[in-house]
A and B are shown apart, each in its own frame.
Chain A
């Protein structure tokens, strides 16, 4: 039997049907509906009005800025923190398996639950965070109420929840490194710091790339945590694209909401795809 018959294209049909109708088709039509004023039934074509509004209106374009800040901060913090946690948990300490499990577990907890918990911990007057600050003789901080700080408080929570995945990816990458390199380095008298800098760091680059892409795209798309912790507030200080899309939908501005979706897609194409390509090309060397 030839390959075409044996591995029949019919096997692909169910997936293509579901994925095509509920992912590809919406994506394709979103380009059109983002150019309309729309109520899911009738539409009026308005050209680029929605996009112009999105870029002009302060309460909307702050979403673009915040999305970028959120993704960049979250991604870089996970990238760095997880590396050191992974080095630590990949050493000879006896509790490493237990600690790996503990660091990883928050990832399985629902994001809304994490949001609720940290919102309580960050309560301005009685939250645990501020209690600790007071015990140390420092002033209270309004974690989620201060518009300059709120976004970073949410990013911090995001890192708390997501650093575990990054860590286990790094650990897998480090365990794949050939042990003989370290033996050779030890014979040459390399110090621990030198081994870390000249062996571990360059050799776990593929893992680092996975972490970077995953965390960056996750950051660009994030919604649940922001929505459960601040709802985009105070004011619009923590609104990201995903929350703007939801707000416009809830207000009935369907065309504007779809335009937000297209902008998010554009950001990912513009930033994440080239990043992915760049990282892959570096891996090939």
Chain B
């Protein structure tokens, strides 16, 4: 027994050292260099700053007439909009796909699950957005993100609803609920745990999405967080302190989210992967 304990202790030490070198150092590197002055940061060393330059962050926030604020506002609006639609639409879809098994739901199920694997066709999407006059608008990209995250969200809802007893619905029917009242008053409130997962996972992936804004929101004024970050890379190629400060500004919200919702995020991702 003693021998086993010592082996675990050794495992702890090795594990922590490895994790520190592989996963903590890159972040330390970012933090330290985002707080150095320009000359020191451009050496790209892993030492703490000689003078801590908190002003870097102010400078990044002020850059380009505060374009970061616009970017954050847009990214938050897009994430919130897409998530709201996903909760509403995907929960309804997952509910009916789980409860009703006939030819129609089978076909819909297969078609939606296909979306987990198949890459979206980008230019025809632009063509359709243009036809609907919503290309380069927030509404357009919210709908695109909604469409792309639909398969994953429907799957999560469908999987969860399988564990909700259908007897509650029968009771609701006896008490005189119509299909929509039944869903709104009885089923949807029971889905809170999976709705929380849907909110967290989809906000993260929409907020972090780079490719879709690149195609569907080009142009300087209606930018998103990931696009400004990418543009900063070109602009600040010789001012690593500002570039890294921007990276930190974008990473911090995710870190906070992870510290609060660690278990929810991990469980949700595992559920999504295993059922897919």
Q: Do A and B interact?
A: yes
Q: Which residues of A contact B (CB under 8 A)?
A: 1, 3-12, 14-16, 18-19, 21-27, 29-30, 33, 38, 40, 88-89, 91-96, 98-113, 116-118, 120-121, 123, 126-128, 131, 160, 165, 168-169, 172-173, 206-207, 210-211, 213-214, 217, 220-221, 223-224, 227-228, 242, 245-246, 249, 254, 257-258, 261-262, 264-265, 268-269, 272-273, 276
Q: Are A22 and B128 within 8 A (Cβ)?
A: yes
Residues from chain A with a CB closer than 8 A to the CB of B244 are 116-117, 120
Question: Is B195 in the interface zone, CB < 8 Å from A?
Answer: no
Q: Are A103 and B19 within 8 A (Cβ)?
A: yes
Residues from chain B with a CB closer than 8 A to the CB of A224 are 210-211
Residues from chain B with a CB closer than 8 A to the CB of A21 are 128, 132, 147
Q: Are A128 and B173 within 8 A (Cβ)?
A: no
Q: Are B179 and A249 within 8 A (Cβ)?
A: no
Residues from chain A with a CB closer than 8 A to the CB of B257 are 108
Residues from chain B with a CB closer than 8 A to the CB of A131 are 45
Q: Which residues of B contact A (CB under 8 A)?
A: 4, 8, 11-12, 15-16, 19, 22-26, 29-30, 33, 43-46, 85, 88-90, 92-93, 95-97, 99-100, 102, 104-105, 108, 111-112, 115, 117-130, 132, 143-144, 146-148, 150-151, 154, 169, 173, 179-180, 182-183, 204, 207-208, 210-211, 214-215, 225-226, 229-230, 233, 240, 243-244, 247, 250-251, 254-255, 257-258, 262, 265-266, 269-270, 273-274, 276
Residues from chain B with a CB closer than 8 A to the CB of A221 are 119
Residues from chain A with a CB closer than 8 A to the CB of B105 are 12
Q: Are B211 and A223 within 8 A (Cβ)?
A: yes
Q: Are A40 and B115 within 8 A (Cβ)?
A: no
Name B's interface SS.
helix
Residues from chain A with a CB closer than 8 A to the CB of B119 are 220-221, 242, 261, 264-265, 268
Taken together as a complex, chains A and B put the C-alpha atoms of A283 and B23 apart, in Å, by 34
Residues from chain B with a CB closer than 8 A to the CB of A101 are 258, 262
Taken together as a complex, chains A and B put the C-alpha atoms of A268 and B148 apart, in Å, by 17
Q: Are A110 and B44 within 8 A (Cβ)?
A: no
Q: Are A94 and B118 within 8 A (Cβ)?
A: no
Count of CB-CB pairs between chains A and B under 8 Å: 264
Residues from chain A with a CB closer than 8 A to the CB of B240 are 120
Q: Are A40 and B8 within 8 A (Cβ)?
A: no
Q: Are B29 and A128 within 8 A (Cβ)?
A: yes
Residues from chain A with a CB closer than 8 A to the CB of B115 are 19, 23
Taken together as a complex, chains A and B put the C-alpha atoms of A89 and B23 apart, in Å, by 15
Instruction: Offer 5 A-B interface pairs, CB within 8 angstroms, sorted by A.
Output: A19-B115, A91-B8, A99-B15, A105-B255, A217-B117
Of B90, B111, B180, B274, which is within 8 A of A207 by CB?
A: B274
Q: Are B26 and A121 within 8 A (Cβ)?
A: yes
Residues from chain A with a CB closer than 8 A to the CB of B147 are 18-19, 21-23
Residues from chain A with a CB closer than 8 A to the CB of B122 are 26, 245, 249, 257, 261
Q: Are A27 and B118 within 8 A (Cβ)?
A: yes
Taken together as a complex, chains A and B put the C-alpha atoms of A16 and B108 apart, in Å, by 8
Name, among A10, A107, A120, the residue most crowded by chain B CB atoms within 10 Å (CB to CB): A120
Q: Are B96 and A7 within 8 A (Cβ)?
A: yes
Q: Are A40 and B269 within 8 A (Cβ)?
A: no
Residues from chain B with a CB closer than 8 A to the CB of A258 are 121, 123-124
Of A15, A95, A121, which is within 8 A of B154 by CB?
A: A15
With both beta carbons as reference points, the residue of chain A lying nearest to B129 in the complex is identified as A22
Shortest beta-carbon distance from B17 to chain A in Å: 11
With both beta carbons as reference points, the residue of chain B lying nearest to A255 in the complex is identified as B123
Taken together as a complex, chains A and B put the C-alpha atoms of A232 and B221 apart, in Å, by 27
Residues from chain B with a CB closer than 8 A to the CB of A220 are 119
Of B43, B104, B120, B210, which is within 8 A of A26 by CB?
A: B120
3 closest A-B pairs by CB: A30-B121, A26-B124, A22-B147
A8-B179, A15-B154, A106-B23 known; A210-B274 Cβ under 8 A? yes
A6-B169, A108-B258, A268-B117 known; A249-B93 Cβ under 8 A? no
Taken together as a complex, chains A and B put the C-alpha atoms of A100 and B265 apart, in Å, by 12
Shortest beta-carbon distance from A181 to chain B in Å: 20
Q: Are A110 and B99 within 8 A (Cβ)?
A: no
